[in-house]
A = this chain, B = another copy of it.
Amino acid sequence: MNVVQAQDQIAQPGRSELELAAVLHALSDPMRLRIVAALAATEEQPSCGAFDLPVTKSTCTHHFKVLREAGVISQRQHGTARLNSLRRGDLDARFPGLLDSVLRAA
């Protein structure tokens, strides 16, 4: 699996590795949909703990990992915090319109 490795960037699939089924699966969970929607609504790069999700920390870690491994989000280590951002550009390039329609529906 080709990965993009830049400074404190956590491993993630490259743009050409993105798979539709994997992305759809990552988005098919209400908790993850909520994370993605919150991420799309801000200009910042919130840490994992900033989402106030109704699950424990370990479950949280799990969901962020699923989203990152599917290529939906990108994570950067910054001190003890892990900063998250949506991979809008890569998603729009591979699956034009998909992210927008999901966000509009969510």
Tell me the A residues contacting B by CB distance below 8 Å. 20-22, 24-25, 27-30, 33, 94-98, 100-102, 104-106
The dominant DSSP class at the A interface is helix
The smallest C-beta distance from A104 to any residue of chain B, in angstroms, reads 7
CA distance A97 to B103 in the complex (A): 11
Whether B25 pairs with A28 at a CB distance below 8 angstroms is: yes
Q: Please, which residues of chain B bring their CB within 8 A of the CB of A104?
A: 95-97
Q: A95-B105, A97-B100, A104-B96 are in contact. Are A24 and B24 (CB under 8 A)?
A: yes
* A19 closest partner in B (C-beta): B30
CA distance A104 to B21 in the complex (A): 13
CA distance A29 to B98 in the complex (A): 16
